[in-house]
A and B are shown apart, each in its own frame.
Chain A
Amino acid sequence: MSDEMDMEEGGTIKKFMFVNRKAPYGTIYALESLEVVLISAAFEQDVSLAFIDDGVYQLMKNINTDGIEMKSFSKTYRALEGYDIEKLYVERESLEARGLSEDDLVVDVQVVGAAEMADLMNEQDVVLSF
């Protein structure tokens, strides 16, 4: 226990990556993933988000959820910067496979190829996939 306290005081900083591979609204994973991301900001860790496969759909512009009576969390992605969460990686192959480009996304991101994404994942301490 004392070891843990020392680590806390020493300010352990780990690399956390949140991997998003699911589309929004059809299931709750995207929303609840975002809730963990926001909490993680309070722990001052090295946080990044990855959007792969259908996960890229989470970042679409022009989302309007009024007709399905769910709360839109589109704006939250734009608010991440205010929490010092600025590393948003979107996989190029996933965008292309869906006929999308960076211009279709609601927030500034870094578009990376699958090989670079694999490198980024590989260097993480903790990878949480939702």
Chain B
Amino acid sequence: MLHIVNKSPSERNSVDTCLGHAKDGSAVLLIEDAVYAATAGNMSEAKVKAAMPNVKVYALGPDLAARGMSARVLDGVNVVDYGGFVDLVAEHSNCQSWL
């Protein structure tokens, strides 16, 4: 399953709840304000890192760039463009947006 999150972890609990429901082998794509969760020093850094051995974490590059965060991406987070977003949706048998 592909989980898509679009909320900053310091504003809403979507990243937390998503990580709590992402089964081993699933993927999490951070878009819009959720890309902050993929950056060093962010309050959810430890949680994202803890999830990474079992869950693949992706962040949308254009959203990182738009927020001045491209150079602060955590090691192990895969940065994708919109084409990569489409591929992720296609590769996983189902998807969910944690609105």
Direct A–B touching, Cβ under 8 Å:
yes
In the assembled complex, B13 has its CB within 8 A of some CB on chain A: yes
Render B50-76 as a binary contact track against A, CB cut-off 8 A, 1 for contact.
000000000000000000000000000
- Bound Cα distance A53, B14 (Å): 9
Of all chain A residues, the one with the shortest Cβ separation from B20 is: A114
- Bound Cα distance A53, B18 (Å): 11
Given contacts A53-B13, A119-B23, 15 further A-B contacts (CB under 8 A): A19-B96, A21-B17, A29-B99, A52-B17, A118-B21, A118-B22, A121-B21, A121-B96, A122-B23, A122-B94, A124-B94, A129-B96, A129-B97, A129-B98, A130-B99
* Given known A-B contacts A118-B23, A127-B94, A53 and B17 have beta carbons under 8 A apart: yes
Of all chain B residues, the one with the shortest Cβ separation from A119 is: B23
B2 CB to closest chain A CB (Å) equals: 10
B51 CB to closest chain A CB (Å) equals: 13
A103 CB to closest chain B CB (Å) equals: 24
Chain B positions within 8 Å of A114 at CB level: 20-21
B30 CB to closest chain A CB (Å) equals: 16
Of all chain B residues, the one with the shortest Cβ separation from A15 is: B94
- Most B CB atoms within 10 A — which of A118, A122, A125, A129? A122
B interface, CB within 8 angstroms of A:
1, 13-14, 17, 20-23, 26, 94-99
- Bound Cα distance A117, B26 (Å): 15
A116 CB to closest chain B CB (Å) equals: 10
- Most A CB atoms within 10 A — which of B1, B95, B96, B98? B96
- Most A CB atoms within 10 A — which of B13, B14, B21, B23? B21
Of all chain A residues, the one with the shortest Cβ separation from B21 is: A118
- Most A CB atoms within 10 A — which of B1, B13, B94, B97? B94
- Bound Cα distance A130, B97 (Å): 9
- Bound Cα distance A45, B47 (Å): 36
